[in-house]
Amino acid sequence: MNSKIESLGMSTGKVIYSCDDCENIHRLKVATTMDLFKSSGVLLFRGFGVTHEQMKTFAERFSSRFIQDYGRPQVDSDKFVHFVDAGMDNSSFHREHGYSPFCPDVIWFCCAVPAAQGGETTFCDGVRVWEELSEETKQLFISKKLKFCYEVQADILRRFTGLDGTITDIKQVLDSLEGVNYQIKENESISIEYICSAVVKTKYGHDDAFANSILTLDYGEATLEDDSIVPDEIIGEIEKVTDKLMEKIPWQAGDLVMIDNSRFMHGRKEFNDNRRQIFSTLSNLNF
């Protein structure tokens, strides 16, 4: 890769700048990009003028399958690219779909229009978060898993799994998943209880990473697996550590970002500009 590469803030992440002979992102070498992603976990491609269509075709080179999101407007015919600007509030750190057994390996973002002020995507390295948490907190999350309880329609699970099957097919998938208990109600509404560790092994390196959705309330408050509430002081400690390790992506039009969802949590700073346009797609990786 002839491109100029710099560190992204104080993180292991990297910024890859376009150069004269590689202004088209599709000219970047796939193997080199894979190696860089494995070692750094967050890549920001700047100056390539990436559109959401190009994000999808570029992501295809690295992906075994895409995962449809829901609750967000889809902007492509395959329904795999989403417009992410629901609301303008601050978004707490989370692992994308960390409440769900259908957690993507990577989240891709691209920026068509940045907010005039604020609206940065934030990220923090779950490996470093785990290193910095106190021994007492680590012991709590080693001894007890997290529990997420929520209800989804079968159609949403069809999108996640990519299976356009019957309810029996969905049952088979759910039965095969670790940590999942479920109840199918009328109208194909499925109540799901998902138990997973707050500490996961990174896809590359197999290191312990504190990567989960404990700080977001989108799918109800996460409890510990014995139904006890995570103590406020523990949440406070996590917020303090993640704030300290927070890195920001100050968006420019045409930026593309890929984030390793097995290692990094991400969020967003608030903004007040309804012209902001950020798109995302979720996928599992082929390397």
Cβ nearer to Fe ion, comparing 6 with 239: 239
CA distance 107 to 283: 7
Stretch touching Fe ion by CB under 5 A, among 8-16, 53-61, 92-100, 217-225? 92-100
| Structure tokens belonging to residue 255 | 């930026």
Cβ nearer to Fe ion, comparing 96 with 105: 96
Cβ nearer to Fe ion, comparing 96 with 255: 96
Burial call 261-274: b when 16+ CB within 10 Å, e when fewer: bbbbbbbbbebeee
For residue 44, the minimal CB distance to Fe ion (Å) is 16
Residues comprising the chain, all counted: 287
Q: Are strands 14-17 and 42-46 parallel, antiparallel or unpaired?
A: parallel
Cβ nearer to Fe ion, comparing 202 with 281: 281
Stretch touching Fe ion by CB under 5 A, among 57-65, 91-99, 154-162, 227-235? 91-99
Cβ nearer to Fe ion, comparing 18 with 91: 91
For residue 118, the minimal CB distance to Fe ion (Å) is 17
For residue 96, the minimal CB distance to Fe ion (Å) is 5
CA distance 231 to 233: 5
Phi, psi of 21 (to 5 degrees): -95, 10
CB 34: neighbour CB atoms within 10 A?
Answer: 16
Q: What is the DSSP letter of 230?
A: P
Stretch touching Fe ion by CB under 5 A, among 6-14, 88-96, 140-148, 199-207? 88-96
| Structure tokens belonging to residue 143 | 């001894």
Q: Is 69 in the site for Fe ion (CB under 5 A)?
A: no
| Contact letters for Fe ion, residues 95-124 (x by CB under 5 A) | -x----------------------------
Looking up tokens 């894979």, which residue turns up?
34
For residue 287, the minimal CB distance to Fe ion (Å) is 23
Stretch touching Fe ion by CB under 5 A, among 4-12, 94-102, 150-158, 234-242? 94-102
Give DSSP secondary structure letters for 56-69.
HHHHHTTEEEEE--
CB 51: neighbour CB atoms within 10 A?
Answer: 14
Positions touching Fe ion (CB under 5 A) are: 96
